[in-house]
């Protein structure tokens, strides 16, 4: 496995921190790690095609765990854990898949499992892993619980196809668990939230953020990225928007803030995207022009974000930012109605 050096800022031009002609700040919110990509298929202990879109969490011993989507050479995906003491290098990768599709008991997983989001749930003292299960009818949302990322309690499908981009909030809202997800319906590809008393039965479905229309960067198709971050101001949420162009789709990242007690209520939504594919490893790969984070960790200072993202559906990369800077950016860049 190739070890990469300690974190240093990406060299090269940095956008000006002064507002542009539209009044938007161009200060970069996230700085790419100069040693990116941090994980590639060459690091894997068995033959694979690509490694990307990992859920992330801090373990109780302080180590960082990435539960990576691994596409093997059949074209189907499974999940495999990589662990690091510093969250940057020295990754120890499970010698075999950590969580495989099990179509015999869960037929909805017949074409693989992918793109998980990890939420630590203090009330249960467990990690909730929401992932996409690819069935004959399309992608759906499945849920599993674990304490050690070795043994998993599968709940099966909790949101039927077509649905994906799901994460559980870390605590109940009132008496109910809350799940953010992205169904595709006749209404479009928007972000929804649903509630459950027991993590098995879900209802009270509501749209929480709509894709814009027309020429916006996030028109027509959006979805949750990493699990929302609870702040004093609200649930800070990174989401992706898909811009369709003549040469293909571009996946970029935006920010929104939701009410703590009523997370279906959007308080702020950035007008512009704040992170997009620029580096070569983000622009060229199995699916070009994609940055897609499924997880982040928060440092001991309670502010620093390490954002782990899939790049071009081919490798894993990391960028650093801060909660306070994201909230300030929203204050300066939320001029339109949510």
Domain enclosing residue 139, as ranges: 31-333
Tokens of 295: 């997880």
- Residue 5 domain flag: no
Residue 48 lies in a domain: yes
Q: Which residue's entry shows tokens 């950590």?
A: 98
Place of tokens 């300690």: 6
Q: Which pLDDT does position 26 carry in this prediction?
A: 64
Assign residue 233 the CATH number of its domain. Answer: 2.115.10.20
Position 28 scores a pLDDT of 84
pLDDT of residue 337: 62
Number of domains comprising the chain: 1
Q: Does 110 fall in a domain?
A: yes
Residue 279 covered by a domain: yes
Ranges under pLDDT 50 in the chain: 1-18, 21-23
- Contact indicator for 130, 115 with CB cutoff of 8 Å: no
Give the largest Cα separation in the chain, rounded. 58
Burial of 262 (0-12, 13-18, 19+ CB in 10 A): middle
Q: Which of 218, 224, 219 is nearest to 236 (CA)?
A: 224
**Model pLDDT, residue 335:** 74
Asked if residue 17 belongs to a domain, the reply is no
Query: How many of the other CB atoms lie within 10 Å of CB of 234?
Result: 23
pLDDT at 222: 98
Residue 336, pLDDT score: 65
Is 272 among the domain residues?
Answer: yes
Distance CA 87, CA 54 (A): 13
Please report the pLDDT score of residue 140 as a whole number.
98
Residue 13 lies in a domain: no
Whose structure tokens read 């989001």?
Answer: 117
Give the torsion sign (CA, 187, 188, 193, 198).
Answer: positive
The predicted structure's pLDDT at residue 227 = 98
Q: Distance (Å, rounded) from C-alpha 79 to C-alpha 131?
A: 9
- 209 in Cβ contact with 239 (< 8 Å): yes
Task: Flag whether 21 is in a domain.
Answer: no
């Amino acid at each position: 496995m190739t070890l990469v050096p300690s974190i240093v800022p990406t060299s090269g031009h940095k956008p000006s921190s002064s507002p542009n002609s539209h009044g938007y700040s161009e200060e970069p919110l996230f700085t790419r790690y100069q040693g990116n990509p941090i994980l590639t298929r060459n690091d894997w202990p068995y033959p694979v095609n690509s490694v990307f879109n990992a859920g992330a969490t801090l373990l109780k011993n302080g180590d960082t765990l990435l539960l990576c989507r691994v596409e093997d050479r059949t074209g189907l995906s499974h999940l495999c854990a990589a662990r690091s003491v510093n969250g940057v290098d020295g990754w120890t990768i499970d010698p075999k898949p950590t969580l495989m599709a099990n179509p015999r008991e869960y037929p909805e997983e017949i074409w693989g499992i992918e793109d998980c989001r990890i939420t630590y749930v203090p009330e249960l003292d467990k990690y909730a892993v929401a992932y996409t299960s690819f069935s004959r009818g399309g992608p759906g949302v499945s849920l599993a619980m674990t304490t050690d990322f070795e043994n998993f309690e599968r709940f099966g499908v909790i949101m039927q196809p077509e649905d994906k981009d799901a994460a559980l909030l870390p605590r109940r809202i009132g008496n109910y668990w809350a799940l953010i997800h992205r169904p595709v319906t006749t209404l479009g590809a928007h972000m929804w939230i649903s509630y459950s008393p027991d993590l098995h039965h879900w209802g009270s479905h509501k749209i929480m953020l709509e894709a814009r229309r027309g020429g916006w960067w996030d028109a027509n198709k959006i979805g949750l990225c990493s699990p929302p971050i609870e702040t004093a101001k609200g649930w800070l949420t990174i989401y992706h928007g898909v811009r369709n162009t003549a040469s293909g789709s571009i996946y970029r990242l935006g920010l929104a803030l939701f009410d703590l007690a009523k997370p279906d209520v959007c308080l702020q939504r950035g007008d512009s995207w704040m992170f997009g594919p620029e580096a070569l490893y983000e622009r060229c790969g199995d699916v070009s022009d994609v940055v897609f984070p499924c997880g982040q960790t928060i440092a001991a200072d309670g502010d620093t974000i390490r954002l782990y993202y899939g790049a071009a559906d081919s490798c894993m990369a990391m960028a650093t930012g801060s909660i306070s800077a994201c909230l300030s950016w929203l204050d300066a860049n939320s001029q339109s109605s949510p």
